[in-house]
Amino acid sequence: MPATVPTLFPRPRELSRREGFWPVPPQPHPTARFLAQLPTTIAEAQAALAAQSSGRGQITAVETLPAENYALTISPAGIDLQARDAVGVLYGAQTLRQIVAQYPTALPCLEILDGPDLAVRGFMLDVSRCKVPTQAELLALIRALGQLRVNQLQLYIEHTFAFPGHADAWGEASPLTPAELRELDEACAAAGIELVPNLNTFGHMERWLRHPRYRALAECPQGWIHPLTGQFKEFPGTLKPDDASLAFVAELLDSYLPCFRSRQVNIGGDEPWELGQGFSKEAVATRGKHRVYLEHLHKICALATARGHTPQFWGDILLEDLALAQDAPVDALPVVWGYDAGHPFAAQGGRLQALGRAYLVAPGTSAWQSFTGRLDNALTNQTEAVSNARQHGARGVLVTTWGDNGTHQPWPTAWLPMAAGLAQAWCFRTNQPADTVAACQVLGGLTAADARAVAAALTHLGRLDNQIAKANRNKSLSWDFLTAPPAALAGFVAGVSPEEITRSLTYLDDATGLVAAIRDARVQAELAVGLALAQAGLLRAAGRPLAADAARQLRERYELAWLARARRGGLAESVAGLGLG
């Protein structure tokens, strides 16, 4: 048998192949029994570590290994898995199972020494912009994240939790219930993942403030002007920084936090766009927007601290003025986010490192506001974020995937950048380039053959945007072309040549066969719908919008693909945002 090296994901820090193989006779042989009984949960790993098994297959505790690390040796003497803690045992068992799957009758002799680059390897999923996944889908995601060595999960919440007494805010959203969150929390704990509560408490409160009952809590109850676009917004999105808002937030936290065992909470705090336009206008004129923001942030963080939780908060406002970074709440953890290639992670992380602050870095999957994903931007963003997190002493990374304006993207378009960033957070050096096939196997639960087909389709679709020189920040032009109101379409098309649109349509035609080769019916349907939506946008830009019947059929396909993974709440709003009539 040739001395091959197993394919592992995430790739381990050190792997040394040795001569020979260790045979695996069938049950009831002790080696086969040992492999069949490898732990699959933290509780099982704790029991295995406490039992201190011995013989030709053994799990042993080694205090000199760092936390979450493991050492795996397969030799002529047998199999030895060493770890300091249950998490290390669980990760080592995952690696050993991958080897067994490739060499079921004789394991290659080798030595692996493995452990994470970053203490926090987190993932955040937006479940507030229309799409709330089914409970089964969330549980499947947790199982996949466990295989990716993720140890923190956040579900981004604005209103999609069934807050008692507030059904007017979440009644149409198919929200997560307390019982469901507790089930997710249990599943995360079993996989070695901390489910950190995430709840916006300052900006992005549109889903609450659009209702008359809550309008008095708004900074601008009668609407506001977006500072970036100059557009008038009818519904307010930012809570006014006063005691009434703090009391409201306290009530929400008291309903929400008991569903989690985590002693952290992400209180949001990003993009309070209208701050200074209404209630706080005089205070902002006197003390400045950043100082007013920072004073209220301290009070929100104090609510979390009083409830025994360490607050996290999005660091965008704080880092607009790096001089104020030193005045952030000392017991809070800033999350430095940036989703474009070239984001100044180095300057921001360097400033926080100089202040001695613990912080997280949050890149994105670049999947939102797109039908096909923006793969090159996403992969660069992951690499830059993880590299700077390591270089500038960040505690870890929180890979994010958002759902701005309706979560129109197929879920698989997040898989490649998501797995790339998380694998690099495990071991940056060995997990470049990303293993796209393994990413699809783990996140899609696919066979190796189908994972190759999905990876090929995602790689091709994810580079659609490269066919047009013009680019809009944080979204795809094909998405803009389809979703833009009629009066705004010409502005998006301006600067795009007919040749570029034709080239893009041809590029999508080339993707049709790649998508058709996917055997998994759900993934194939999702990517086919995404491809068709991108085509519809490009055709609209070319002056050839879909006929009414074709638009209706595409809407129906979109709805079916949505309901295969997500709850119905929010679907009608998402469909309306597509502009398909």
pLDDT tens per residue, range 387-412: 999 999 999 999 999 999 999 999 99
Q: Cα torsion for 450, 451, 456, 459, to the nearest 10°?
A: 150
Strands, E assignment, 308-392: 310-314, 333-337, 360-362
Query: Domain 14-114 is in which class?
Result: alpha beta
pLDDT tens per residue, range 410-439: 999 999 999 999 999 999 999 999 899 999
- Greater pLDDT, 561 or 325: 561
pLDDT tens per residue, range 143-196: 999 999 999 999 999 999 999 999 999 999 999 999 999 999 999 999 999 999
Residue 233 one-letter amino acid: K
As to burial, measured by CB atoms within 10 angstroms (0-12 exposed, 13-18 middle, 19+ buried), residue 353 is middle
pLDDT tens per residue, range 476-513: 999 999 999 999 999 999 999 999 999 999 999 999 99
**DSSP states of 116-168:** -SSSEEEEEEE-SSS--B-HHHHHHHHHHHHHTT--EEEEEBSS-B--TT-HH
CA-angle at 332, arms to 327 and 336, nearest 5°: 85
Query: Taking the domains of the chain in order of start, what are their residue ranges?
Result: 14-114, 120-434, 456-576
8-state DSSP, 546: P
Q: Would you call 79 helix, strand, or coil by DSSP?
A: strand
How confident is the model at residue 328, as a pLDDT?
87
pLDDT tens per residue, range 346-382: 999 998 999 899 999 999 999 999 999 999 999 999 9
Question: Is CATH 3.20.20.80 the classification given to domain 120-434?
Answer: yes
Q: Would you call 24 helix, strand, or coil by DSSP?
A: coil
What is the percent of the chain with per-residue pLDDT over 70, rounded to a whole number? 99
CB atoms within 10 A of CB 526: 25
pTM score, whole prediction: 0.97
How confident is the model at residue 317, as a pLDDT?
78
How confident is the model at residue 2, as a pLDDT?
52
Q: Are strands 396-401 and 360-362 parallel, antiparallel or unpaired?
A: parallel
How confident is the model at residue 318, as a pLDDT?
76
